[in-house]
Amino acid sequence: MTGTLAPPVALVVVQSTLLLAATSVVTDTAPLAPLLLVAAVIAGTLQCSALSFVTAAYTRTPETATVTVAPVLGALFGGAMWTAGTPAAQVTWPMLLTGGGAVAHLARVGWDGVAAGVHVIDVAHAGPALAVTVVLTAAILAAATKLFHWDPRR
């Protein structure tokens, strides 16, 4: 599984680094809490990697892979967009529970703080997103471990 996951994970790390560097240059700012950004990248990568194995457990043919992955990808991306379109101080639990919403909120709070221009990390805002991210990631990893079985090619 390491060989299967290594290229996409390396790509995520490179793309995230380039995106954060470009954002820093364009906005002439630096992240307020870089560790939250790192946590967001790691958690998002772990969630998506584990979800790929969970969906593979239910996908019987390569042709049905897009159908199997579509709801999961829609929930992650939709949650992230929902959260990103809402001011950081107004993010709610349902937004965070989408998985993508929690990761997006962690990344935004890690860069800007609670409100743009304020640059204050408030544990009341970062804490729930971090907790949801950790719990969801652990649950997805547990599901992947239980559901996925490697079948050798015949």
- Supply the DSSP string of 73-128, one letter for each residue: HHHHHHHHHHHHTS-GGG--HHHHTTSHHHHHHHHHHHHH-SSTTT----HHHHHH
Instruction: For 12-34, write each residue's pLDDT tens digit.
Output: 999 999 999 999 999 898 888 88
- Stretch 52-68: mean pLDDT: 86
Instruction: For 62-109, write each residue's pLDDT tens digit.
Output: 888 888 888 888 988 999 999 989 988 888 899 999 889 999 998 888
Nearest Cα to Cα of residue 142 among 54, 57, 43 = 54
